[in-house]
């Protein structure tokens, strides 16, 4: 498998889009909300793309797959923190629906990317 630029991966682009949208929502919250739920949510969502990026730079399919699995774990953590934010009325239903639509694409995209790693083209 040749060198892959993580920036060119659709799954990374989707993760980055979600991270940017979450960031813009959280930065509007009050200090307490940012310091508790906000920091956890931003760290979790940023970790998705960061792990995709790190995996591509590791050099072996085995290492890349490990980091994609970590990204998948971060996706689930992001879902958890988005649920907390919604239940605590930090996010309205429209914003939550927007985030969920991206998450619903990102999960299968991560799984497809994971399956593709190491395959010969």
Reading the block at residue 112, the tokens are 């497809």
In angstroms, how far is CA 4 from the centroid of its own chain?
19
pLDDT tens series, the chain, 121 aa = 456 799 999 999 999 999 999 999 999 999 999 999 999 999 999 999 999 999 999 989 999 999 999 999 999 999 999 999 999 999 999 999 999 999 999 999 999 999 999 887 5
- CA 104/CA 101 separation, integer angstroms: 5
Task: Give the CATH H-level superfamily of domain 6-116.
Answer: 23S rRNA-intervening sequence (1.20.1440.60)
Q: By the 8 A CB rule, do 102 and 73 touch?
A: no
pTM over 0.85: yes
- CA 71/CA 15 separation, integer angstroms: 10
Nearest residue to 103 (alpha-carbon basis) of 80, 75, 83, 81: 75
- CA 84/CA 90 separation, integer angstroms: 8
């Amino acid at each position: 498998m040749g060198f892959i630029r993580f920036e060119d991966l659709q799954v990374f682009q989707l993760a980055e889009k979600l991270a940017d949208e979450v960031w813009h929502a959280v930065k509007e919250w009050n200090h307490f909300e940012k310091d508790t739920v906000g920091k956890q949510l931003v760290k979790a969502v940023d970790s998705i793309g960061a792990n995709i990026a790190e995996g591509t730079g590791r050099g072996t399919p085995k290492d890349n797959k490990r980091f994609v699995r970590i990204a998948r774990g971060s996706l689930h953590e992001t879902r958890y923190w988005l649920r907390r934010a919604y239940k605590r009325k930090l996010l309205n239903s429209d914003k939550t629906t927007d985030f969920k639509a991206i998450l619903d694409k990102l999960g299968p995209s991560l799984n497809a990317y994971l399956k593709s790693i190491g395959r010969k083209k």
